[in-house]
Amino acid sequence: MNNTFTIIGSTGLIGSELLKLMLNDESVHTIRLINRRPVELENEKIQQKVIDFQDETAFREAIAGSDAVFVCVGTTNKKVKGDQTAYRKVDYDIPVNAARFCAETKVGKLLIVSSIGANSKSRNFYTKLKGEMEAAVAGFDLPYTRFFRPSMLLGSRKEFRLGEAIGKALMKPLSFLMPENYKPVQAAFVAKAMLLEAKNGVSSQKVLHLKEMKQLFEVQ
């Protein structure tokens, strides 16, 4: 089967790891990258779709024809200068619109990076936003939807995040005391779990925390 796998957010921590995996995976025939700006990478597998995510026609056309869509977008308060409306346009609007266009164009599988603690009733802006996003995506009743809820991600980012650096320094030595699903996790591990689930998962709607991600590797 000539799979066409689409990554939204291929320059991010998890998205970039997914791209590496797909480039080295013979079962992935075409890798479609949907980004705001072109990625400086040439490979015969890659199709680049540079769009304005608010252009619904362009977004829908970029998604159409995919066998699976991986949504790995996410912003920070620093990037949006504390503007919660701008934050919402990335962490809510993009995955929800991706789900809508997957439904409209009959895409088989949708896999989204969410967050530990996602809850639409949360008092925390970030976890509430992720919970609202999941609820909206679930409302499209797609045949196959996966929400991945990692805790703090480990890996090399292009930009420095002071709060995240402090969090990593504090959490890593104490991770053995934390509940399993709240332990820091390598972005590469999450990416591997996403790709594995996309290949083997059956039609359903499912939430995967770290525990469930680890179980994917146990049943290989």
| Predicted pLDDT at 159 | 56
| Predicted pLDDT at 160 | 45
| Predicted pLDDT at 156 | 66
User: At 175, is the pLDDT very low, low, confident or very high (cuts 50, 70, 90)?
Assistant: low
Say yes or no to pLDDT of 86 above 50: yes
Say yes or no to pLDDT of 96 above 80: yes
For all residues of the chain together, what is the average pLDDT?
A: 90
pLDDT in tens, 43-83: 999 999 999 999 999 999 999 999 999 999 999 988 999 99
Say yes or no to pLDDT of 115 above 60: yes
Angle at which helices 94-105 and 125-138 pack, to 10 degrees? 10
| Predicted pLDDT at 166 | 46
State mean pLDDT over 138-158: 89
| Predicted pLDDT at 200 | 87
pLDDT in tens, 150-167: 999 997 655 545 454 444
- Note if the pTM is more than 0.85: yes
Rounded to whole angstroms, the Cα distance separating 100 from 106 reads 10
**Which of the pair, 197 or 1, is modelled with greater confidence?**
197
| Predicted pLDDT at 88 | 97
The percent of residues in the chain predicted with pLDDT above 70, rounded, is: 88
For the record, the structure tokens of 133 come out as 């996003």
**Which of the pair, 53 or 1, is modelled with greater confidence?**
53
Do the Cβ atoms of 201 and 110 come closer than 8 Å?
no
Do the Cβ atoms of 66 and 98 come closer than 8 Å?
no
**Which of the pair, 136 or 175, is modelled with greater confidence?**
136
**3-218, superfamily in CATH?**
NAD(P)-binding Rossmann-like Domain (3.40.50.720)
Name the strands in the sheet holding 68-71, side by side, starting at the edge strand that comes first in the sequence.
46-50, 28-35, 3-8, 68-71, 109-113, 145-148, 205-208
User: At 8, is the pLDDT very low, low, confident or very high (cuts 50, 70, 90)?
Assistant: very high
| Predicted pLDDT at 45 | 96
